């Protein structure tokens, strides 16, 4: 349980909340990592990143920030519960300026929009101390944003100091993957040296770190992936709905699909039917579509994909239809529910 001392510090104004769970004697070997964005994905990713490992990041000074005070409290509470602190200095910053002034070696972000990424990265890089320009700060943006914004942020970071760098590294795997540290990272890196630097951090949070090309390419791959995923989920929703109407047990239908040609992530890991999800033991639908990948976020990604398609002169009719359906679901008040709630939306129309 979270100590009363920590609770009082966390709620007493917006000053630095700093709770050392254990001191590290050899401060010169400490790697300073900051994590910004403690939402459904970021919370779990940050916890996995901060956990003690016998690896190159054995000693960390780990700083977290989220504009939502409740998220900071939740993170600190869970960090203590899972025993983070044996070899980690854990602290929370009151604002981005304070976070930047601590001169982090790495800044990992998990944010919901392009605008949020631009604001956070811009604020931090412009407030890093002069000494940081010599050693360099490496930004790893796991947010799903447009390739154009990723390239812009890379240029902005490099313009402050050639020793700084920015990597777009969006993820696939959902909240379950974030919790299990089985995410796939799609990375856009400026160099092989940078790609090697980010691997120890990302491998704490995922199972695969894939190089996709230069700056912006990770974001491009993620948008393509999510365009396919949106249509995939709609297809599974329609099939599960039809099967149930025909009198087929949803668990039976899902089990058959998952050993047949319809097998996919939306059928096996995040099945949109609550009965099937409970039978499988995985899926936000089993929890009233809470705690998954929000419908509004999927809609945002589809807008980004279609904007990129317009810029490139590409036609994406199925993605356009997917966007219309997710937009209608969002307008019905389902934006905060996992995007598998599309099943309930289709059943209602």
Which active-site residues does the annotation give?
222
80-to-71, 74, 291 alpha-carbon distances in Å: 14, 10, 22
Which residue from 101, 85, 40 is spatially nearest to 66, judged by alpha carbons?
40
Query: Do residues 346 and 241 make contact, with C-beta atoms less than 8 angstroms apart?
Result: yes
Bridge partners of residue 32, in order along the sequence? 61
Which residue from 175, 170, 184 is spatially nearest to 142, judged by alpha carbons?
170
The residue count of the chain comes to: 349
Strand bridging mode 183-188 / 171-172: antiparallel
Rg of the chain (C-alpha set): 21
Beta strands in the chain (DSSP E): 17-18, 31-36, 60-65, 88-92, 106-109, 138-141, 165-168, 171-172, 183-188, 206-213
């Amino acid at each position: 349980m979270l100590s009363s001392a920590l609770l009082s510090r966390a709620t007493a104004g917006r000053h630095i909340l700093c709770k050392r769970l254990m001191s590290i004697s050899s401060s010169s070997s400490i790697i300073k990592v900051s994590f910004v964005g403690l939402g459904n994905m970021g919370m779990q990713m940050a916890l996995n990143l901060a956990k003690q490992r016998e690896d190159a990041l054995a000693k960390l000074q780990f700083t977290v920030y989220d504009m939502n005070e409740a998220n900071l409290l939740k993170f600190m509470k869970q960090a203590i519960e899972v025993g983070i602190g044996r070899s980690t200095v854990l602290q929370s910053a009151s604002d981005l300026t304070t976070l930047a002034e601590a001169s982090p070696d790495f800044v990992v972000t998990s944010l919901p929009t392009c605008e949020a990424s631009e604001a956070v990265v811009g604020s931090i890089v412009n407030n890093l101390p002069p000494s940081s320009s010599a050693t360099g700060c490496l930004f790893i943006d796991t947010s799903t944003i447009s390739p154009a914004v990723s390239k812009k942020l890379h240029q902005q970071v490099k313009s402050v100091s050639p020793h700084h760098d920015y990597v777009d590294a969006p993820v696939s795997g959902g909240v379950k993957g974030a919790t299990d540290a089985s995410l796939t990272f799609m990375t856009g890196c400026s160099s092989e040296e940078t790609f090697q630097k980010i691997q120890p951090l990302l491998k704490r949070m995922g199972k695969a770190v894939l190089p996709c090309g230069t700056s912006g390419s990770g974001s491009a791959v993620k948008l393509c992936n999510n365009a396919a995923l949106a249509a995939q989920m709609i297809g599974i929703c329609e099939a599960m709905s039809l099967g149930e109407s025909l009198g087929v047990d949803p668990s039976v239908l899902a089990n058959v699909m998952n050993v047949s040609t319809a097998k996919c992530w939306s059928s096996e890991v995040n099945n949109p039917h609550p009965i099937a999800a409970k039978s499988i033991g995985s899926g936000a639908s089993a929890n009233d579509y809470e705690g998954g990948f929000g419908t509004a976020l999927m809609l945002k990604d589809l807008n980004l994909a279609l904007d990129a398609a317009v810029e490139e002169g590409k036609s994406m009719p199925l993605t356009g239809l997917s966007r219309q359906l997710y937009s209608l679901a969002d307008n019905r008040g389902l934006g905060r529910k996992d995007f598998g709630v599309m099943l309930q939306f289709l059943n209602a129309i």
